[in-house]
Amino acid sequence: MRKITIAIDGYSSTGKSTVAKQLADWLEYIYVDTGAMYRAITLFAMRNKIIAPETFQVERLIETLPNVTVEFKRNNATGNAEIFLNGQNVEREIRTLEVSEFVSPIATVPEVRKKLVQQQQEIGKEKGVVMDGRDIGTVVFPGAELKIFMNASAETRAKRRYEELLGRGDTVSFDDVLRNVVERDRIDTTREDSPLRKADDAIEIDNSEMNLEDQFHTILQLAKDRIAGRV
């Protein structure tokens, strides 16, 4: 069967990774969570005091970037790809609210984007990939056969993220999570380099009122149509 490229973009906490993972499992495609790559660089910057409240040493970040490696390795126990920063598994550390607070400024830096976009294009060059992020359909794979743009109300998204963080045992307030979701939307959509926007040929899905199963089947059907060359 012919393999295609599936780009899933959208606002934060719209469930992009959930549906991307489901699709990749079903189609036996590679799944790439590009947000995890930006988060890993952010964790690196936090650990090295390059970014902190009121501080962002952009030049230092750019200088050290060639020495930072971000890669995915498969966890054989779960079957999921996990992210490694300079050889260390940071899958858990990158999901905190603190990393979420700093990731959008880090993702505005063109040198960071260039490095990660090149890596993403290399991973997906043979197709058979489902990639989620903010610029996949517009910049990373503008020729992707299927582009989805996901959205939901800020409250719905913050509620999902809040429950996820509580489920991990993190202590967070709903208001802080909501504020972070809104602030990240603002930075991600207004940055100069590759702002979050719907590609002209992307299909928009608002899943505020959709359950996971309906959403999966809707997108899977779109993928099957593309694979069969029906669209």
The residues binding ligand DC (CB under 6 A) are 12, 34-35, 38-39, 103-104, 107, 133-135, 184, 188
To ligand DC, the closest distance from the beta carbon of 38 in angstroms equals 4
In the complex with ligand DC, the residue whose CB is nearer, 29 or 133, is 133
The SS3 call for residue 91 is coil
Single-letter code of the amino acid located at 169? G
> Taking the complex as a whole, how short is the minimal distance between the CB of residue 212 and ligand DC, in angstroms?
17
Phi first, then psi: give them for residue 32, nearest 5 degrees.
-125, 120
In angstroms, rounded to a whole number, what is the distance separating the alpha carbons of residues 68 and 44? 8
Nearer to ligand DC, 163 or 225 (CB): 163
Instruction: State which residue, 115 or 224, has the beta carbon closest to ligand DC.
Output: 115
Three-state secondary-structure class, residue 15: coil
Q: How far is the CB of 171 from ligand DC (least distance, A)?
A: 20
The whole-angstrom distance between residue 68's C-alpha and the CA centroid of its chain comes to 19
CB of 186 to ligand DC, least distance (A): 10
Minimum CB distance to ligand DC smaller for 196 or for 222:
196
Using alpha carbons, list the distances in angstroms from residue 182 to 37, 63, 157. 21, 30, 10
